[in-house]
Amino acid sequence: MKVHHSLAAAVLASALILPTAAPALAAQHQAPRPPGIEKQDTLRWVAPNDLKIGTAVAGGGHHETQPYPAPFPNDREYLQHLAAEFSSVSPENQLKWEFVHPERDTYRFAEMDAIVEFAQENKQVVRGHTLFWHSQNPAWLEEGDFSKEELRAILKDHIQTVVGRYAGKIQQWDVANEIFNDNGTLRTTDNIWIRELGPEIIADAFRWAHEADPKAKLFFNDYGVESVNAKSNAYLELIPRLQAQGVPVDGFAIQGHLSTRYGFPGDLRTNLQRFDDLGLETAITEIDVRMDVAAGTQPTAAQLEKQASYYQRALDACIAVEECNSFTIWGFTDKYSWVPVFFSGEGEATVMWNDFTRKPAYYALQESLEQASPGRGNR
């Protein structure tokens, strides 16, 4: 087995935040922050202790085709805000199969190692994303001629190698990602694992992850499950059945890729509560709120107000549910958002503009976090 280490030293060296005040701040056990941003004026500071405020760490995927260096670790201003604002980080693409496992006998860990190191330096937790998915798999896997036994061994090796490498360093894992169609049926066509190995392989994925790191919390993660619907109902039925078989499922995560062209999912809190009632942890893991914005124009004040309302209502729903302990924005600046690359005519989906100035959505989140702090934890 070959592991890429050649980039690790350079990536780690440039990833760490080193503003002039950093040594003093570290000595005071405070997270570094950009010059001019007071600690008391960041999302992570105003949040209650029992709620992690996270973001995706931009890199891999669509970023590799864009006309800029990898945001992490090359954009220093980006790194400063990443450290200052968030208590949790998730790799946007750096742990997806095509990135971290580009050839059968090759793992590419340098970038993820750097993210973990960055998180440790800045007192952040890490969510792992993702181990079992139908998308962003490498060609060698999807086009390979493997027997069922070989394919099962490949999946087990991947899960235990990746989870084992970060045991004790990654607190939560999206083990199985997007396994259901919108109508609540399993993805038996486009998910290579379910198609070739049967539904039972889902339980094995959780078991293998648990063996590699017994302390990590293991989640299902999906989009389109914000509401009470066929897809979320399928998870509500599946998870207790797996748990009855001794499968270590700890949580259910809702992605939350929203658009202002559609109504807000008003039953989000009710839906989260259904899973909380099962004794599960819950999380909102990939939220963004895209808007219809024509090329060369800016969103209107009314659009920004609506976007802010969606972000705030989603956060309020999480805060209202006891075991919803993680709220992650899928990228915090429009400068690096995936949305305009994949949704033609839509964009401006994050809480900061390209220059890292704050949108109304940022202040809406800050307001809800400030209001929640007295009842949810001590600063």
Please give the full DSSP string across 77-141, using - where no structure is assigned: HHHHHHHHH-SEEEESSTTSHHHH--BTTEEE-HHHHHHHHHHHHTT-EEEEEEEE-SSS--HHH
Report which of 322, 319, 238, 316 is spatially closest to residue 276, judged by C-alpha positions.
322
Please, which residues have CB within 8 angstroms of residue 262's CB and are 6 or more apart in sequence?
A: none
Q: What are the φ/ψ torsions at residue 272 (nearest 5 degrees)?
A: -60, -40
Burial 89-104 (b: 16+ CB within 10 A, else e): bbbbbbbbbbbbbeeb
pLDDT in 10s for each residue of the chain, 379 residues:
545 443 433 443 333 333 322 323 223 334 444 554 566 799 999 999 999 999 999 999 999 999 999 999 999 999 999 999 999 999 999 999 999 999 999 999 999 999 999 999 999 999 999 999 999 999 999 999 999 999 999 999 999 999 999 999 999 999 999 999 999 999 999 999 999 999 999 999 999 999 999 999 999 999 999 999 999 999 999 999 999 999 999 999 999 999 999 999 999 999 999 999 999 999 999 999 999 998 889 999 999 999 999 999 999 999 999 999 999 999 999 999 999 999 999 999 999 999 999 999 999 999 999 999 864 443 3
Structure confidence at residue 374 (pLDDT): 64
- Does residue 286 carry a catalytic annotation? yes
Could you list the residue range(s) of the whole structural domain that residue 117 is in?
2-376
Distance CA 202, CA 245 (A): 12
Q: Determine which one of 178, 226, 281, 323 is catalytic.
A: 178
Report the candidate in 55, 39, 37, 66 with the shortest Cα–Cα distance to residue 91.
55
- Provide the pairing of β-strand 281-292 with 346-347: antiparallel
From 85, 286, 323, 348, the catalytic residue: 286
Q: Tokens 């070989």 belong to which residue?
A: 150
* 178 catalytic per annotation: yes
User: What CATH number corresponds to the domain at position 199?
Assistant: 3.20.20.80
Q: Which residue has the tokens 């094995």?
A: 204
Count up the domains in the chain and report the number.
1
- Closest Cα to residue 350, out of 364, 363, 334, 366? 334
Three-class secondary structure of residue 25 per DSSP: helix
